[in-house]
Amino acid sequence: MNNYETVFILTPVLSDAQAKEAVAKFTKVLADCGATIVNEENWGLRKLAYPIEKKTTGYYTLVEFDATPETVKKLETAYRRDENVIRFLTFRLDKYAKEYADKRRARRAAAPEAPATEVEQAPAAE
C-alpha cells in the first residue's frame, strides 16, 4: 500500500450539503476499494487562480489515504464521471512528503481554535 494525497475542486453552485455529499461519495469509493483514509480536510469555497469553465471559485477538499494503485484509478474514474468536479490531482507521497504531511497534521491539531470576533466578544449594550 502506498500513501496518496488527492485534492479536488467542486463546482461553486453546490450547496454546503451537496458538497459534503459529494465528498462522502468519493471517500466511500476509497473505503469500498479497501483504502484507509488518514486525513480529510475541507478547505471550503476559495477563489481559483484562473477561471475554469467560466467559474472563478470552487469548493476545495484534501484527502490523504493509503491504497493500491488500482484504487487510485477507480477514484480518478469516479472524479471524471462526476460533473460537479472541476479539477482533481492525486499523487503518491514519498517518505519526505509523508513526514511533512504528518507534521502539518500534528501542527494543525495542536493549533488552538480561532478566537471569537470582536462582535461576538462584546457585551450586549442595553
pLDDT per position as a tens digit, 70-102:
999 999 999 999 999 999 999 999 999 999 998
Torsion of CA 88, 69, 5, 104, to 10 degrees: -170
Report how far residue 108's alpha carbon sits from residue 114's, in angstroms, rounded to the nearest whole number: 12
Report how far residue 72's alpha carbon sits from residue 65's, in angstroms, rounded to the nearest whole number: 10
From 38-47, 54-63, 108-117, the region with the lowest mean pLDDT: 108-117
The model's pTM: 0.81
Say what the pLDDT of residue 108 is.
85
Q: What secondary structure letter does DSSP report for 124?
A: P
**Could you tell me the residue range of the domain that residue 35 belongs to?**
2-108
Tell whether 115 is covered by a domain: no
Do 91 and 4 contact (CB within 8 A), yes or no? yes
Q: How many domains does the chain have?
A: 1
CATH classification at residue 27:
3.30.70.60
Do 65 and 90 contact (CB within 8 A), yes or no? no
- Side chain identity, residue 89: L
Beta strands 36-52; 55-67: pairing state: antiparallel
